Structure 1
Amino acid sequence: MVTNSYPPGTVLMRPTLDALARNWWLILLRGILAIIFGVLTFIWPGLTLFTLVIFYGAFALLDGIFALVAAVTKGAPAPRWWLAIVGLLGIGAGVVTLMWPGITGLVLLYFIAGWAIASGIFEIIGAIRLRKEIDDEWMLIASGVLAVIFGLLILAFPGAGALGLAFAIGGFAVVYGGLLVAFALRLRKHAEVKI
C-alpha cells in the first residue's frame, strides 16, 4: 500500500488557504482598487461631496464584487463565509450609495464608518481562521484592524471637515490597499507551490 506524505504546509493540508490562493488575483484587484481610490482623493482633495460619494460608491461596489467572487469561486471546500459577508456588505454599500448620491455628508460618514467597521471585523475573523494555514496572516488582520479603527475614528470625529475627510479616506484606502496587495502576493506564492 502506498501512502502519500506531503510536506507540512502543502496545499492539501490547508483548504481555506488553498481556496483563497486560487483567487489571489481578486484580492490583488481589491487592493489595487483601494489604492487608486485613495490616490484619487489625494489628487483631488477639494472633491465635492457628490464626487466623493460617487467614488466611494464605485469603490465599495467593485470591492464587494471582487470579495464575493473570491468567496464563491470553485476551489477546495473551505469556509469562506466571512469573505462572502465582506463582499455582500461592499455591494450593498456601493448600491445604496450610487442610488442615493444626494446623501448628506453626515449620513455618508456614518455609512462609510459602518461599512469599514463591519468589513474590518469580518476580515479579522477570516485572518484568525487562516492563522494556522499561512505565515503572514497579520497582513489581513492589520487591514481589518485598520478598517475598524478608521470606522471608529469617523464615528468619534464626524465634524472633521470635508478636506480632512478626503485625506483621511485617501490615507486609509492607500494603506488598506497596500496591505491587501501584500496579502494577495503571499497568496500567489502559495498558489504556485507544486505538490
Structure 2
Amino acid sequence: MATPMIDDLKRLYRMTWWALMLRGLLSLAVGIFIFARPLDSVAAFALVIAFWAIFLGLVEIVHAFQLRPMVQHWWVILLSGVVGVAFGIAALVYYPTLALTFAVVWVAWWLMATGLLGIYATLQLRRMGTDWGWPAAFGVVSVVAGVFALLAPPVTLAAIMGLIAGFAIIAGIVLIGGALKLRSIVHP
C-alpha cells in the first residue's frame, strides 16, 4: 500500500530523473571531448577562466556596494571585484596566454603551499612523538610537484585538463547511474 509520501517521492523522481540523465550525458561528453580534442579544450578552459573572473568580479562589486552601509572596509571587496574584472578582461585581451599562465601558476603555488604546510605539520607531529613519515613524504612530494609544475607548464596544463576530463567522465557515469536508478524506481 503506497502512502502519500511515497507517491510524492515517485512523482518527484518521475519529474527529475531525466535532468540527472542530461547532466550525466553532458558531463560524459565534456570528459570525452577533453580527451579527444585537448587543444580545443585548453582554449575553452582559458575562456572559462576569463569569464569566471569577470563574473565573480562583478558579483563582488555588487556585493561590496550592498555591504557598504554595514561594513567599514567594504572597499576591500570592491577592490577585489575590480581586480577580478580587470584580470578577466586582460585574460580575454591576451587570450589564451594569461589565463593559462594563471592556471599553471595557481596550481604550482597551491602544490608548494600545501607541501610546505605538510612539512610544517610533520615538524609538529615529530615534536609530539607521533608518526610523521607519511605527512613528511606528502609535503616533500607536493613541494617538488609544485616546482615541477612551474618548470614544465605544458605538462601541468595537461595534468589539469586530464583531471578535469577524468572527473567529468566519472561524474557523468555516476549521474547516469543515478538517473537510471531513479527511473527504475518510478518505472519498475
User: Structure 2 length normalisation: TM-score?
Assistant: 0.41
User: Structure 1 length normalisation: TM-score?
Assistant: 0.39
Structure of greater Rg: 2
